[in-house]
């Protein structure tokens, strides 16, 4: 079995014991000391799904459908079910996830706890906007049904609540109608960041899904170039990808991602003919989940794993801050395999600690090169802090308490909702007193 | 459309098997001890495609209820052609070694209750001239080992019993299937360290089981490579085997 309990960045490594949850009526047995943390499918990159020295409550055994209202597209299921299973169930009946992240191997509980976003944020907001209600179990045995109107304070604390407010056992989700599995749209190249902003402005009104890939290895006049994709659900004829999947069979002893392979990959990606298509039809799988065809792709980064950095920068400062980031990355010489760029919409997110907010979001991953990588990420944080932005906890393994507390100004309000028995490695790090923080 | 009775339906392996049958739009009748869990599983199986799912709360050790239980499943589904017997416990070997009572209680759960159900179902299938009876035994039943010989020998009884039934009913339209899982990641094995290539998920084991049941395979090792492992273990001479710490 692949190592249960690790995070997607494969770094940092933690030790914990696991308690497997297998049905939604199970009580939490707490006769041993130690803190608890729900664990979904470990698709968070850093330590927000880790609880060093404590227990992980593994939730994949909570994977039952409870009810489905086919007329209204309301699905009720247990929280350990994967988005993939929801799609498999809903799509043949004409429904789809209202919001989906870039992988469907994520549990519903995990999607709530990070209040995840997708390529349609400017239209439909975050995942939490579509959650009609959930049942929250606390370590004292109490159960609450939380909705935007019932236990609304618990609802807001638990959405984006990083698993700290209790265990979500069951939830009700509003799906959205789709005509079928296909999307139709365009793929366009842009030569620099202003090209990206222009395309975003032109596209956000007519296209539900917009996202860009950014070539982080391009230098000089080519810096900021990339490929912009925009699409809508559509009635279309296309090819359905086979169900075959590749698996990276073992952890490469050396990282396969280095300066050369990155440059090559990014250059090829930019210049491949499919980067410019006036009328493209995608099946939803390659469109939403391009990496899901290669199982355990994170192993290519070798035994030391990698860091991911995702920030959002407010609209006013986005162009200059993003330029500054690209400059900083270029100077450091440590490129990113995939840079993803997207404009968020203005809808306020439903969670006290939700990450998504108005602005431009940039996501990058970096092979773990030790101290220089951490320095680079800290200098990116300096830019994000100055710009009044935020960094995404789901992808973080290193942000300082100072940064976190600035990025999430409502964190103190959140404290009273934390279950006294729950904690995470991430939380112990970012809730420290910044004065006492180890530098 | 099959009409499937599952005893021990709250077992992780059994639930995964039930999902496979639900996907094939078969009718299901579930037997287990925990009503809430059974209801949750039944709702799920209906949404996964089963046109009819009913459950009954019953301890498998209540042997006097077996005949009535089988009849009620048949009445509910309008017949009965497929049975999976899945319930079981993993005894604390040291505690059993110290207590005859405990040892016999484990035999009750892991051998006698199966034998009772098999006897009744085999006779029913024989007279109706068709049916598939599958019983979950274990690779542990292939040879007794000091670390869990109470469990292993109870499973050995199930293995030998179903082997005999299979011969008796051969040519009478009835398939008797002995299922021998290896290490499966389920609540039964919660206390084990599950790293390493020998551990399989309940889902993957269930797929192997259902494929074998539909094909009418006599003995199913799940995953298949346990057949090879058990060939080796079975063939170690007793003189060497008795000294091993297995
Ligand atoms: C390839 C890839 C692409 C991605 N793309 C995106 C993207 O586009 N947008 C985006 O927003 N994110 C994205 N992510 C991040 C991912 O969506 C989130 O990290 C998600 O929360 C992971 O869910 P999980 O089920 O794996 O949960 P885990 O990573 O295991 O846990 C995440 C958090 O949820 C909590 N949790 C899990 N289950 C429960 C429960 N039942 N009750 C209470 N708390 C619970 C955990 O305690 C933890 O704090 C991506 C990740 C990958 C690997
Ligand atoms: N897991 C393995 O590695 C492994 C290997 C080889 C064979 N097996 C066999 O596979 C079968 C299924 O086990 P599993 O792995 O799926 O474990 P499991 O999830 O723990 O299932 C065992 C089930 O047996 C039920 N049960 C126990 N005593 C019962 C009784 N008196 N009456 C009714 N039901 C009873 C339990 O019911 P409750 O839910 O009410 O407790 C439980 O649902 C068992 O026969 C086991 O011996 C398992």
What is the set of active-site residues of B? 151
**Rounded-to-integer distance, Cα B197 and Cα B96, Å:** 30
Q: What is the pLDDT of residue A335?
A: 67
- Would you state the pLDDT for residue A96? 98
3-state helix, strand, coil in chain B (%, to 5): 55, 20, 30
CB B31 within 8 A of CB B60: yes
pLDDT score for A196: 96
CA dihedral A296, A302, A303, A304 (to 10 degrees): -110
User: Could you give the count of Cα atoms lying within 13 Å of A430 in the half-sphere of its Cβ?
Assistant: 27
Return the residue in B47, B186, B187, B195 with the most chain A beta carbons within 10 A, the one to mutate for interface testing: B47
B12 touches ligand 2 (CB under 6 Å)? yes
Decide if A256 touches B, using CB distance below 8 A: no
**What pLDDT score does A236 carry?**
84
- Write out chain B residues lying below 8 Å of A250, CB-based: none
- Residue B136 Cβ inside 6 Å of ligand 2? The answer reads yes
Contacting A residues, span 48-87, partner chain B, CB-CB under 8 Å: 61, 64-68
Locate tokens 């539909």: which residue? B214
Q: What integer pLDDT is reported at residue B132 of this predicted model? A: 98
CA pair distance A114, A128, nearest whole angstrom: 9
Residue in this structure with the two tokens 């077996």, named with its chain if needed = B66
Q: Which residues of chain B have pLDDT under 70?
A: none
How many angstroms separate the Cα of A66 from the Cα of each of A63, A74, A153, A172, B183? Answer: 9, 11, 25, 9, 30
Taking the C-alpha atoms of residue A23 and residue A313, their distance in angstroms, rounded to an integer, is 41
Contact present, B155 and B181 (Cβ < 8 Å): no
All structural domains of chain B: 3-241 (3.40.50.720)
Going by alpha carbons, the residue nearest to atom 7 of ligand 1 is A101
Residues in chain A: 439
Beta carbons of B89 and B106 less than 8 angstroms apart: yes
Tell me the nearest-neighbour CA distance from B195 into chain A, angstroms. Answer: 6
Token pair for A183: 């999307």
pLDDT attached to residue A439: 47
Interatomic CA distance for residues B176 and B118, integer angstroms: 9
Model pTM? 0.94
Shortest CA gap B172–chain A (Å): 38
A240-279 confidence digits (pLDDT tens): 777 656 666 666 656 666 666 777 777 777 777 777 788 8
Taking 70 as the pLDDT cut, the residues of chain A under it are 1-5, 8-14, 243-260, 294-297, 300, 335-338, 436-439
Contact A4/B at CB under 8 A: yes
Q: How far apart are CA A171 and CA A77, in angstroms?
A: 6
**Chain B: which residues have CB within 8 Å of chain A?**
10, 12, 34, 36-37, 40-41, 43-44, 47-48, 185, 187, 190, 194-196, 199-201
Q: Please name which of A392, A394, A417, A390 lies closest in space to residue A406, comparing C-alpha atoms.
A: A390
d(CA A323, CA A318): 8
């Amino acid at each position: 079995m692949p190592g249960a309990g690790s995070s997607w960045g494969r770094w940092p490594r933690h030790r914990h014991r696991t308690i497997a949850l297998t049905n939604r009526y199970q009580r939490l047995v707490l006769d041993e000391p130690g803190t608890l943390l729900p664990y979904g499918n470990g698709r968070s990159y850093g330590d927000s799904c880790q609880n060093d020295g404590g227990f992980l409550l593994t939730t994949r055994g909570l994977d039952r459908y409870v009810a489905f209202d086919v007329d209204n597209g309301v699905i009720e299921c247990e929280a350990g079910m994967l988005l993939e299973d929801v799609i498999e169930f809903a799509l043949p009946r004409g429904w789809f996830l209202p919001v989906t992240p870039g992988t469907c191997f994520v549990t519903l509980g995990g999607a709530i706890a990070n209040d995840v976003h997708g390529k349609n944020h400017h239209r439909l907001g975050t995942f939490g906007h579509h959650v009609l209600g959930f049942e929250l179990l606390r370590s004292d045995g109490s159960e609450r049904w939380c909705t935007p109107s019932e236990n609304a304070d618990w609802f807001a604390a638990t959405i984006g609540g990083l698993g700290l407010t209790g265990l979500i056992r069951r939830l009700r989700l509003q799906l959205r109608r789709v005509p079928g599995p296909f999307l139709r749209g365009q793929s366009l190249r842009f030569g620099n960041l202003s090209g990206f902003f222009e395309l975003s402005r032109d596209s956000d009104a007519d296209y539900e899904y917009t996202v860009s890939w950014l070539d982080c290895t391009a230098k000089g006049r080519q810096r900021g170039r990339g490929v912009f994709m925009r699409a809508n659900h559509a009635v279309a004829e296309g090819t359905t990808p086979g169900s075959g999947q590749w698996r990276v069979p073992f952890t490469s002893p050396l990282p396969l991602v280095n300066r050369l392979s990155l440059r090559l990959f990014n250059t090829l990606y930019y210049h491949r003919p499919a980067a410019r298509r006036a009328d493209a039809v995608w099946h939803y799988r390659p469109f939403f989940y391009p990496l899901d065809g290669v199982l355990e792709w994170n192993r290519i980064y070798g035994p030391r794993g990698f860091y991911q950095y995702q920030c959002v920068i407010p609209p006013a400062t986005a162009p200059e801050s993003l330029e500054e980031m690209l400059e900083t990355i270029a100077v450091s010489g440590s490129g990113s395999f995939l840079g993803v760029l997207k404009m968020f919409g203005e809808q306020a997110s439903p969670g006290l600690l939700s990450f998504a907010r108005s602005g431009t979001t940039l996501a990058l991953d970096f092979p773990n090169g030790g101290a220089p990588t951490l320095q680079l990420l800290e200098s990116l944080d300096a830019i994000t802090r100055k710009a009044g932005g935020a960094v995404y906890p789901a992808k973080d393994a290193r942000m300082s308490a100072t940064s976190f507390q600035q990025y999430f100004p409502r964190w103190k309000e959140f404290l009273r909702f934390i279950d006294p028995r729950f904690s995470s490695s991430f939380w112990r790090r970012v809730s420290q007193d910044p004065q006492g923080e180890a530098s | 459309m099959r009409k499937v009775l599952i005893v021990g339906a709250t077992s992780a392996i059994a639930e995964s098997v039930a999902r496979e049958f639900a996907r094939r739009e078969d009718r299901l009748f579930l037997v287990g001890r925990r009503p809430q869990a059974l209801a949750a599983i039944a709702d799920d199986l209906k949404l996964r495609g089963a046109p009819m799912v009913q459950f009954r709360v019953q301890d498998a050790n209540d042997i006097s209820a077996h005949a009535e239980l089988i009849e009620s499943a048949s009445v509910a589904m309008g017949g009965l052609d497929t049975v999976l017997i899945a319930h079981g416990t993993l005894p604390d070997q040291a505690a059993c070694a110290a207590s005859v009572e405990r040892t016999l209680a484990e035999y009750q759960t892991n051998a006698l209750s199966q034998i009772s159900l098999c006897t009744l179902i085999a006779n029913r299938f024989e007279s109706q001239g068709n049916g598939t009876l599958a019983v979950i035994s274990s690779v542990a039943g292939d040879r007794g080992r000091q670390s869990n010989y109470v469990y292993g020998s109870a499973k050995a009884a199930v293995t030998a019993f179903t082997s005999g039934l299979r011969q008796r009913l051969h040519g009478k339209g009835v398939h008797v299937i002995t299922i021998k899982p290896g290490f499966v990641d389920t609540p039964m094995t919660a206390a084990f360290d599950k790293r390493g290539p020998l551990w399989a998920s309940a889902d993957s084991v269930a797929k192997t089981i259902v494929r074998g049941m539909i094909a009418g395979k006599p003995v199913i090792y799940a995953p298949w490579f346990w057949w090879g492992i058990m060939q080796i273990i079975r063939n170690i001479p007793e003189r060497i085997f008795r000294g091993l710490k297995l």
